Amino acid sequence: MVSLQKIYINISQKNRDILDKIFIHLPDITISGGLVRSVVNEEPIRDIDICVKNDRFIFIINKILKLFDVTFVSIYNDFVKLEINEIGKEIDIINTGHVNAINYIQKNFDFSFTRLLLLKDENGYYIFGDESDFNDLVNKKLVYCGSDYPFSSRDRAKKFIEKGYKIDNYNLIKIMDDCSKEEIRLDKNIN
């Protein structure tokens, strides 16, 4: 059983300045993905992933367009990528459909620590997720949770390894097994 909990964290002033500009206007958003890794490891924020349910997707996009000087980068199905010029960061808005962000992330994100969320309440910023996922992040351990896009996960694993993350043989084999299943599925669709 997964035990989700709050883990309050200190954030560098530079990252806090960026996040405060977002959270002051969008206090109820759910941030996930690489930003959580960047904040915990005190690395520069590359981009910001916001997950929202279908009924708030257009609302959040419109609110960001009204609040910030924004450049559209790309639009793909249920995924919009914007550049917020004021803070110089890309923001990815992910439509989770009718599923809440926590359930969507737990089901769809490929490595354990990518399933962690960054949230804010009156006590400050906190990571929300499973403690073992948080420990994987702190210990730079890659634990593969499955993916609809195993080739992307394979490529992401390579990038993580270059950054000092470790992956054991079991998780490496899981990725390769999913890649081989995807190749078989693609072959069947071609014939």
Q: pLDDT in tens for each of the 191 residues of the chain? A: 467 789 999 998 988 988 998 888 888 888 988 899 989 888 888 889 999 988 889 999 999 999 999 998 988 888 899 999 888 889 999 998 888 888 888 888 899 999 999 999 999 999 999 999 999 999 999 999 998 889 999 999 999 999 999 999 999 999 999 999 887 765 565 55
Letter for the amino acid at 64? I
Contact 40, 9 (CB under 8 A): yes
Task: Please state the pTM of the whole predicted model.
Answer: 0.82
Residue 106: strand, helix, or coil:
helix
Contacts 24+ apart (CB under 8 A), 115-119: 115/32, 115/145, 116/32, 116/36, 117/30, 117/31, 117/32, 117/36, 118/19, 118/31, 118/32, 118/35, 118/36, 118/39, 119/6, 119/30, 119/31
For the chain, which residues make up each domain, given as ranges?
A: 4-139, 142-191
d(CA 80, CA 120): 23
Nearest alpha-carbon partner for 38 in 60, 65, 62, 16: 16
The fold of the 4-139 domain, in CATH, is: Beta Polymerase; domain 2 (3.30.460)
